[in-house]
Amino acid sequence: MTVSVARPPTRKPARTAPATTQAPRSSFPWLALPATVWVLATFAIPTAILLASSVLTYDGAELTGPLTGANYADLFRNSYFRSVLWDTVWMSATVGGACMTAGLLVAHFLVRSRSRLRTLVLLIVISPLVSSVVVRTYGWLVLLQDDGLVNKVLLTAGLIDSPLPLVGSRFAVILGLVHVLLPYAVFTAMSSLQSVDPSLELASRDLGAGPVTTFFRITLPLIRPGLIAGFTLTFAISLGAYASAAVLGGGRVQTLATLVRDRMVVSLEWGQAAAISVVILVIGAVTVSALLLAGRRSQAGVG
Amino acid sequence: MTAHMRTSAEPAARASGARTSGGFGVVLRGIRKQFGTSVAVDDLDLDVRPGEFLTLLGPSGCGKTTTLNMIAGFLTPNQGQILLDGQDVSRQPPDRRDTAMVFQQYALFPHLTVGQNVGYGLRMRKRRPAEIRVLVADALERVGLVGREGHRPGQLSGGQQQRVALARAIVVRPKVLLFDEPLSNLDLKLREQLRLEIKHLQRELGITSIFVTHDQTEALVMSDRIAVMREGRIEQLGSPDEIYHDPANSFVAGFVGQSNLITGTCTGSGPEAGECTVRLPGAHMLPARLVGTARPESGAPVQILLRPEALRLATTSTDPTVPAGLTIDGQVTEVINEGSVATVVVRVTDALRLRVAVPDPGGRGLPSPGDAASVVIPPGVARALPN
């Protein structure tokens, strides 16, 4: 998934910059070749096969024609699929929203504060990146299970009478995903905030706006493209996230990703699995395009 | 040094002064600001009079911008008080202080139009939209940008952007206008023009203004008074004329204007009161007026200031246009012609090289390096500075 961080909404450079001062073009376009080949081999080709298998028939040995929309028709007629689709979309949107809100708060602290705790906070924020997703997810399992830390604390405090069924809830899946994806959100928000000249915020304060007004009238509009990009990124990753949903969902929370697995491994309906994968891909692509377009538009307003 | 504390009887005088001039006073008392272990501003006292244009002038790192930021409320002093119109605002956030700043990098809000930028402060003050429209149009007219309300800051040139920033600051009619090197990003022509425009506007509105710059010409042209700062302290506070002609010490003399700073020896009091007679390197004797705290004893070394434009160059000893005075012979080592003025460096001895400004050099026939030349020091131009 490649979601570019939106270009920082800084002032345009002086219009007087003549074309001759542009940096000379790189004369080594083949430097991009290895990565391009790699992406083609590992992403584009499998995707093409996936697309093909969703519209062909698998007869047990090989894919055969003719082209058919039967897999998709079956899917969308199936009310269970539709409810899983809806669950996945709203859960991913919640994850994206929560990530960007929390990420923005953390990023604001990291970028604008001069506190000595910054390094520590930064380390904590990036810690999910350096541990395996399975380890992190099982960590949450330990915390959230019936005799886990969270339930013990709540029971001891007398807030609940019996353990909450946290594992296997959508809440647990969302929590796990937010944890995993928070670093992406923090980094996107940080790069946006860093591009906002602090003297703009000072000017706003100087003109009589309090800190909250300054944030909503000056800072937020300027970082909106970055926030949109960050939301898109975390939303798109959540759409297809499997490990968190499988482990923390405890088999009771079904998302598109776990559904793909079920259709492939349990019911052996590979055509259906491919079609669901394509649906994930399409939702992701459409969201990314729409939000990036919106981001570009609000950024154009900045120029 | 005229930085001083107000006595208790003076707030009333200040209030009446405020009424007549339409401005408000700013008083800094014992201000100190430290960043870690480095002291940026050190026990600073400053009294900005209502309606005056005061410049904080000094090299980078002298604490002038820190001082300005403390007045705006962007920084909090470690010690001391800031009084704005008699009210202690030292611990108030910037949005509670009636100040408005013009920033070096303009700091216009890029996502708002020019009109919204200028109207921002009025909106925060909950003024009615119709009133805001009128005031914004008036402010833009005052800075020569009639009808640009709908433009984006990014569509304007640097000079126009700074005019918008100026309009945004004056439109709220703050008690104090603060300028943080607002002209240093502009090219020379524009800078010279905007200096005068800002000065005129300030005089017209009568808003007390504090202007920070490292450009001594800017300070001399614009200010009612200049505070020359070094290492967090004020070296001298006075009118441009005082700062230029009677610098309190060699730092001020060297920082403001071109100067010849010569170390001589005091040989006793001079022909007139407040003078001492100084022996220059090369044994010439020159009476110099004592400045500030300078009270050199006989036989002690003393710094002499000679402004290049106060000196005259005589290529022939009988040049009738050259006034009488001490004449020192030497040899031209360098000629720097800037068009409207040329600087001729005359070497007398290795320890004594004099820079002489020759106005309108075009019609005069400048000497060439290597030529013999005499420098005439008219009476009354030499200053003896405290060490």
Cβ A44 vs Cβ A38: under 8 Å: no
Query: In Å, how far are A18, B78, B153 from B186, measured between CA atoms?
Result: 18, 34, 16
Give tens-digit pLDDT for A131-149.
887 888 888 888 888 888 8
Whose structure tokens read 């569509």? B155
**CB pair distance less than 8 Å for B153 and A11:** yes
pLDDT digits (tens, 9 = 90+) for A196-226: 999 999 999 999 999 999 999 999 999 988 8
Sequence-ordered list of residues with C-beta below 8 angstroms from that of B326, at least 6 positions apart, any chain: B284, B285, B286, B376, B377
pLDDT tens-digit series, residues B213-226: 999 999 999 999 99
Could you say which residues from 137 to 166 on chain B have a Cβ atom under 8 Å away from some Cβ of chain A?
152-154, 158
Chain A with chain B: Cβ pairs closer than 8 A: 72
Report pLDDT for B14: 39
In a shared domain, residues B247 and B262: no
Statement to judge: residues B98 and B208 lie in one domain: yes
Residues B226 and B87 in one domain: yes
User: What integer best gives the mean pLDDT of chain A?
Assistant: 83
Q: Which of B118, B123, B129 is nearest to B152 (CA)?
A: B118
Domain enclosing residue B273, as ranges: 258-385
Assigned domain for B240 exists: yes
Say if A220 is an interface residue toward chain B (CB within 8 Å). no
Please tell me whether the peptide bond between B320 and the residue prior to it is cis, using omega within 30 degrees of 0: no
Q: What is the pLDDT of residue A23?
A: 60
Same domain, B335 and B215: no
Cα(first)–Cα(last) distance of chain B, in Å?
15
For B149, other C-beta atoms within 10 Å of its C-beta total: 17
Work out the minimum CA distance from B206 to partner chain A, whole angstroms. Answer: 19
Token digits of residue B380: 């009354």
pLDDT per position in chain B (387 positions), as tens? 344 433 344 444 333 333 345 689 999 999 999 998 899 999 999 999 999 999 999 999 899 999 999 999 999 999 999 999 999 999 999 999 999 999 999 999 999 999 999 999 999 999 999 999 999 999 999 999 998 999 999 999 999 999 999 999 999 999 999 999 999 989 999 999 999 999 999 999 999 999 999 999 999 999 999 999 999 999 999 999 999 988 988 899 989 988 899 988 888 877 777 888 888 888 888 888 888 776 777 888 888 999 999 998 886 555 566 667 788 889 999 999 888 888 999 998 888 899 999 887 776 678 889 888 889 998 888 998 876
Q: Alpha-carbon distance B261 to B202, whole Å? A: 35
CATH number of the domain residue B364 falls in: 2.40.50.100
B36 and chain A in contact, CB less than 8 A: no
pTM for the whole thing? 0.80
| DSSP assigned state of B194 | H
Among B221, B251, B281, the domain boundary falls at B251
Query: B331-369, pLDDT tens digit by residue?
Result: 999 999 888 888 999 998 888 899 999 887 776 678 889
pLDDT at B210 (0 to 100) = 97
Q: Is the residue at B55 inside a domain? A: yes
Which residues of chain A does B172 touch, with a Cβ-Cβ cutoff of 8 Å? Answer: 207-208
B1 belongs to a structural domain: no
Residues B212 and B279 in one domain: no
Given a contact cutoff of 8 angstroms between Cβ atoms, the answer to whether A186 and A109 are in contact is: no
What pLDDT does residue B118 have? 97
So what's the pLDDT on residue B22?
66
Task: Please report residues of A whose CB lies closer than 8 A to that of B121.
Answer: 207-208
> What is the rounded distance in angstroms from the CA atom of residue B299 to the CA atom of residue B183?
46
Residue B2 lies in a domain: no
Contact A261, A242 (CB under 8 A): yes
By the CB < 8 Å criterion, does B124 face chain A? yes
Q: How far apart are the first and last CA of chain A?
A: 28
Q: Is A301 on the interface with B (CB under 8 A)?
A: yes
CATH topology of domain A79-300: MetI-like fold (1.10.3720)
Query: Residue B309 is encoded by which pair of tokens?
Result: 């434009």
What pLDDT, on a 0 to 100 scale, did the predictor assign at position A292?
75
How is the beta sheet containing B352-359 ordered, strand by strand? B312-314, B372-377, B326-337, B341-349, B352-359
Residue with tokens 């790069």: A191
pLDDT for residue A73? 86
Domain edges within chain A: 33-68, 79-300
Q: Which residues of A touch B100 (CB under 8 A)?
A: 206-207
The total domain count for chain B is: 2
Q: How far apart are CA B211 and CA B101, in angstroms?
A: 10
- Nearest Cα neighbor of A205 from B51, B150, B75 is B75
| Tens digit of each residue's pLDDT (9 = 90 or more) over A43-69 | 888 888 888 888 887 666 666 777 788
- List chain B residues with CB under 8 Å of A302: 110-111
B168 to chain A, any CB pair closer than 8 A? The answer is: yes
Give the integer Cα–Cα distance in Å for B198 and B195.
5
Distance CA B87, CA B175 (A): 12
pLDDT grade, residue A25 (50/70/90)? Answer: low
For the cut 90, the answer to whether the pLDDT of residue A125 exceeds it is no
Query: Is there a contact between B47 and B14 (Cβ–Cβ < 8 Å)?
Result: no
3 state DSSP class of B55:
strand
Nearest-CA neighbor of A247 among A143, A172, A153, A186?
A172
Q: Which residues of B touch A192 (CB under 8 A)?
A: none
Do B190 and B64 belong together in one domain? yes
In the numeric block, which tokens belong to residue A100? 């960007």
**Does some domain include residue B317?**
yes
Q: Say if residue B21 is in the same domain as residue B38.
A: yes
Look at the block and give the residue holding tokens 């126009």.
B160
B61 & B150 share domain: yes
CB distance B103–A202 less than 8 Å?
yes
Q: What is the DSSP letter of B264?
A: E
Give the strand pairing for B326-337 and B176-180.
unpaired
Same domain, B268 and B234: no
B35 close to A (CB below 8 A):
no
Q: Does residue B52 form part of some domain?
A: yes
Residue where one domain finishes, among candidates B193, B217, B251: B251
Report how far apart, in Å, the C-alpha atoms of A265 and of each of A196, A258, A259 are: 50, 10, 10
Answer whether residue B83 is part of any domain.
Answer: yes
Specify whether B333 is located in the same domain as B367: yes
The whole-number pLDDT of residue B96 equals 93
- In this structure, the answer to whether residues B148 and B231 fall within a common structural domain is yes
Whether residue B136 sits in one domain with residue B72: yes
Is A166 in contact with A160 (CB distance < 8 Å)? Answer: no
For A207, which of B124, B153, B158 is closest by C-beta distance?
A: B124
The Cα B101–Cα B176 span in angstroms is 9
Within chain A, strands assigned E span 57-58, 63-64
CATH number assigned to the domain comprising residue B164: 3.40.50.300
- Report yes or no: B230 and B250 within 8 Å, Cβ to Cβ: no
How many CB atoms lie under 10 A from the CB of residue A130? 8
**Structural domain ending residue among the three candidates B210, B231, B251:** B251
